[in-house]
């Protein structure tokens, strides 16, 4: 049985043990899983190469732990509840036996299409159970899944397919998000045109939209499944064999293909799911994230299934058909644990308490928050209106790279403080460093958040680019994993995340690199240079502000800005569209040609009282002009 901490003193004991004897601590947890062959070495690591291996030599398959192992006792229990975009459409419930059957069948389908262990498979799907089935089937045959969020454009999809040279693309005809129709197959077709590695495209007919199927390349999911056997022997994987790639944005360059491996990720997501949410048998767990982000991977699919839980997948959006949708969802499915993002909470806060009227939320036991810092006001609103003052909020801090939650209260165990992610989970050795790289000790400190010891769920590399893995995370401070976040530790040792300290913007919980947005804007014929920064946004957390330089007169700057915004939507995806574009004559540059983003950030924030030292700028007078322009568009 996977250990479950049941009191604060047990947490403190577990934490101390996990620090003094990390290997022994994780070995005990690893015992709770099914191994084909036990591991030989628990941990082998250094943060210089860096090299991280957990449970090396062990043989297993994660899907035997997610599915097969539950069949004897909970074959008829619901594994996945699916709530459609339109609340009047039919709910689907998939038991563990049905899930097993579907995953086995799709594993056979993939193998029949020539997919072998180590091959990459791209999944570009709506929020339907088939997305999870596709992920699990990949894991079962040892193929590496690369899920791409279905809000990404064809260019972004193709970039990700090409980086990993995926052989197969799994998609659907299309989807509806609220009333918005998205033609996924069309986008997939556009991507495949510039992604020569794709040999096969499997299309799940979700909405019966008219689509083009290319003979010999495109296949219908349901047709392939209808003749596929429901028996499939899982492929034996090594603990450190890759499980998946998931792309995420950094401050510079193209998106990074974060690579996770099998055993460590499995153990970590299972353990954190059970302990953070304090999951109890038979409970219904609902995470509103999309499966295209790591939250969906770890806490819709792997974490819950590894625990034999019932996980709810919601296809829709919080505002459709009305702003009471989440609350109807909770009532309809008697959800016990509800895990969502601050941006959704803030967006719903605007509608007041009316959407709650007549809705029974008494099933709720635990609330969760993820993706960005939750402000105190939203925290209290969530606590009072959704949790009726009775449900703890677990503010879970983590990242694509960390695989699972690293800092969070344990529900009903850790004393809470609004807007604080509170304390590190067992096994997580935090370090707070100052700009110069000195580790700060004690309480009441503030600095850059690092981690100084490996935990099983951490990323092992960036796909095909280990050098970049090293430079992005292990080079800022020698021998530390640098998260890119800043934090404060208060007088009680509680952690409050203050946000990114690099050039990554967090828009509605979506992580966007400023460089990616700049590259997209610069493709506009009239724009020769741009600088993108984040600014505080009431609902999205951060908005995107772009300063652009045009090299010739445009008949309408408003039109130009709209074109540039639309272009970013087309190149990256609608979620990355800048909120504000400001045309400027020049950008604040130093003599070495570096843009002083610090100044632009301050201007976008509307805090221009103290812009700091501008004497190193080639032309300090540009700052005043930008300030005036910013006031006009604010
Ligand atoms: C970045 C990671 C973790 C899964 C979803 C996002 C921010 C995440 C919190 C939180 C404050 C948070 C950080 C982090 N973040 N959770 N509870 N409090 N900030 O994964 O896309 O990899 O983004 O999201 O800035 O670095 P991601």
pLDDT tens-place string over residues 204-241: 999 999 999 999 999 999 999 999 999 999 999 999 99
Are 394 and 368 spatial neighbours (Cβ–Cβ below 8 Å)?
yes
At 455-499, the pLDDT tens digits run: 999 999 999 999 999 999 999 999 999 999 999 999 999 999 999
pTM beyond 0.75, yes or no: yes
Is 143 within 8 Å of 109 (Cβ atoms)?
no
The preferred substitution site among 371, 393, 419, 499 for testing ligand 1, maximizing ligand atoms within 8 Å of CB, is 371
Which homologous superfamily is 505-633 in?
Answer: ANL, C-terminal domain (3.30.300.30)
The answer to whether the CB of 486 falls within 8 A of the CB of 446 is yes
Which residues are CB-contacts of 100 (< 8 A; sequence separation ≥ 6)?
Answer: 67, 68, 71, 75, 230
Query: Distance (Å, rounded) from C-alpha 182 to C-alpha 378?
Result: 31
* Nearest partner of 311 among 328, 297, 325, 327, judged by Cα: 297
Distance CA 447, CA 427 (A): 21
543 ligand 1 Cβ < 6 A: no
294 lines ligand 1 (CB under 6 A): yes
In the numeric block, which tokens belong to residue 187?
């986008």
**Ordered DSSP codes for 52-92:** EEEEET-EE-HHIIIIIHHHHHHTTSEEEEEE-SSTTSPPE
Q: For the chain, what percentages of helix, strand and coil (3-state, to nearest 5) are there? A: 35, 25, 40
Distance 399 CA to ligand 1 centre (A): 5
Angle (CA) 429-431-433 rounded to 5° is 170
Pocket test for ligand 1, best of 151, 397, 403 (most atoms within 8 A of CB): 397
- Cα distance between residue 77 and residue 98, in whole Å: 10
- Please tell me the distance from the alpha carbon of residue 482 to that of residue 48, in angstroms, as a whole number: 13
Predicted confidence (pLDDT) per residue in 6-53, tens digit:
999 999 999 999 999 999 999 999 999 999 999 999 999 999 999 999
CA–centroid distance, residue 397 to ligand 1 (Å): 6
Query: Which protein residue's CA is at the shortest distance from atom 2 of ligand 1?
Result: 399
User: For residue range 46-105, what is the model confidence (pLDDT) as tens digits?
Assistant: 999 999 999 999 999 999 999 999 999 999 999 999 999 999 999 999 999 999 999 999
Nearest to 189 by CA among 158, 152, 167, 221: 158
Phi, psi of 361, rounded to the nearest 5 degrees: -105, 20
Those residues whose C-beta lies under 8 Å from the C-beta of residue 8, and which sit 6 or more positions away, are: 413, 414, 415
Token look-up 């297993």 returns: 60
340 close to ligand 1 (CB < 6 Angstrom): no
- Work out the pLDDT band at 537, boundaries 50, 70, 90: very high
Residue 616, pLDDT above cutoff 90: no
Check residue 254 and report its DSSP letter: S
pLDDT over 90 percentage in the chain: 94
In the predicted structure, residue 611 carries a pLDDT above the cut 90: no
| Through-space distance between the first and last CA atoms of the chain, rounded to whole angstroms | 56
Task: Give the CATH number of domain 62-74+90-235.
Answer: 3.40.50.12780
Interval 402-420: pLDDT, tens: 999 999 999 999 999 999 9
What is the Cα–Cα distance from 331 to 312, expressed in whole angstroms? 13
Angle formed by the axes of helices 96-112 and 129-141, nearest 10°: 60
Q: Which of 260, 272, 372, 378 to mutate to test the pocket of ligand 1 (most atoms within 8 A of CB)?
A: 372
Residue ranges of domains in the chain: 62-74+90-235, 505-633
* Average pLDDT for the chain: 97
3-class SS letters over 592-606: CCCECHHHHHHHHHC
User: From ligand 1's centre to the CA of 249, what distance in Å?
Assistant: 12
Ligand 1 centre distance from Cα of residue 212 (Å): 38
Say yes or no to pLDDT of 633 above 90.
no
- Please report the pLDDT score of residue 200 as a whole number: 98
Of 506, 542, 576, the one to substitute when testing ligand 1's pocket (max ligand atoms within 8 A of C-beta) is 506
Confidence band, pLDDT 50/70/90 cuts, at residue 575:
very high
DSSP-assigned beta bridge partners for residue 369: 340, 395
> How many Å lie between the centroid of ligand 1 and the Cα of residue 485?
9
399 lines ligand 1 (CB under 6 A): yes
């Amino acid at each position: 049985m996977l250990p479950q901490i049941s009191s604060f003193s047990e947490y403190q004991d577990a934490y101390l043990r996990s620090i003094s004897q990390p290997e022994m601590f994780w070995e005990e947890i690893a015992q709770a899983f099914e191994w084909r062959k036990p591991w030989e070495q628990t941990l082998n690591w250094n943060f210089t190469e860096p090299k991280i291996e957990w449970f090396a030599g062990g043989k297993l398959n994660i899907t035997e732990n997610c599915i097969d192992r539950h069949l004897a006792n909970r074959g008829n229990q619901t594994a996945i509840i699916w709530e459609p975009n339109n609340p009047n459409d039919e709910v689907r419930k998939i038991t563990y036996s049905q899930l097993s059957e579907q995953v086995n069948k799709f594993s056979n389908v993939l193998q029949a299409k020539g997919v072998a262990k180590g091959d990459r498979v791209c999944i570009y799907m709506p929020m339907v159970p088939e997305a999870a089935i596709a992920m699990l089937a990949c894991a079962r045959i040892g193929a590496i899944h690369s899920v791409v969020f279905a809000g990404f454009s064809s260019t972004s999809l193709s970039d990700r397919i090409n980086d990993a040279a995926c052989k197969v693309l799994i998609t659907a005809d299309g989807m509806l998000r609220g009333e918005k129709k998205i033609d996924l197959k069309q986008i997939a077709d556009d991507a495949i045109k510039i992604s020569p590695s794709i040999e096969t495209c499997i299309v799940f007919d979700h909405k019966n939209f008219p689509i083009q199927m290319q003979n010999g390349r495109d296949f219908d999911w349901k047709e392939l499944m209808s003749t596929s056997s429901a028996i499939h022997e899982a492929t034996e994987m090594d603990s450190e064999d890759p499980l998946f790639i998931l792309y995420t944005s950094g401050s510079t360059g193209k998106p990074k293909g974060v690579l996770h491996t099998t055993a460590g990720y499995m153990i970590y997501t299972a353990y954190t799911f059970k302990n953070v949410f304090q999951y109890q048998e038979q409970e219904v767990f609902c995470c509103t994230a999309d499966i295209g982000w790591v939250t969906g991977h770890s806490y819709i699919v792997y974490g819950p299934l590894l625990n034999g839980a019932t996980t709810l997948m919601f296809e829709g959006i919080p505002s459709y058909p009305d702003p009471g949708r989440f609350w109807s969802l909770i009532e309809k499915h008697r959800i016990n644990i509800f895990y969502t993002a601050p941006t959704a909470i803030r967006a719903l806060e605007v509608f007041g308490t009316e959407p709650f009227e007549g809705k029974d939320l008494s099933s709720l036991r635990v609330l969760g928050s993820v993706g960005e810092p939750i402000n105190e006001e939203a925290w209290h609103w969530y606590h009072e209106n959704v949790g009726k003052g009775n449900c703890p909020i677990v503010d879970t801090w983590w990242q694509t790279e960390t695989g699972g939650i690293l800092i969070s209260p344990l529900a009903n165990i850790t004393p809470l403080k609004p807007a604080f992610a509170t304390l590190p989970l067992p096994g997580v050795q935090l370090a707070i460093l100052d700009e110069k790289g000195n580790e700060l000790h004690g309480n009441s400190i503030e600095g850059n958040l690092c981690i100084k010891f490996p935990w099983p769920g951490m990323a092992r590399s960036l796909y095909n680019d280990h050098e970049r893995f090293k430079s992005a995370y292990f080079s800022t401070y020698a021998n530390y994993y640098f998260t890119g976040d800043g934090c404060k530790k208060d007088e009680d040792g509680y952690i409050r995340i203050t946000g990114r300290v690099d050039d990554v913007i967090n828009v509605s919980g979506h992580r966007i690199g400023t460089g990616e947005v700049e590259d997209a804007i610069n493709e506009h014929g009239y724009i020769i240079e741009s600088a993108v920064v984040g600014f505080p946004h009431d609902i999205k957390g951060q908005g995107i502000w772009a300063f652009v330089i045009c090299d010739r007169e445009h008949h309408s700057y408003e039109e130009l800005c709209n074109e540039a915004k639309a272009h970013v939507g087309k190149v990256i995806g609608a979620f990355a569209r800048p909120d504000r574009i400001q045309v400027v004559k020049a950008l604040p540059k130093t003599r070495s040609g570096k843009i002083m983003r610090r100044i632009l950030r301050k201007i976008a924030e509307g805090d221009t009282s103290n812009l700091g030292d501008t004497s190193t700028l080639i032309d300090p007078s540009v700052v005043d002009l930008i300030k005036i322009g910013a006031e006009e568009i604010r």
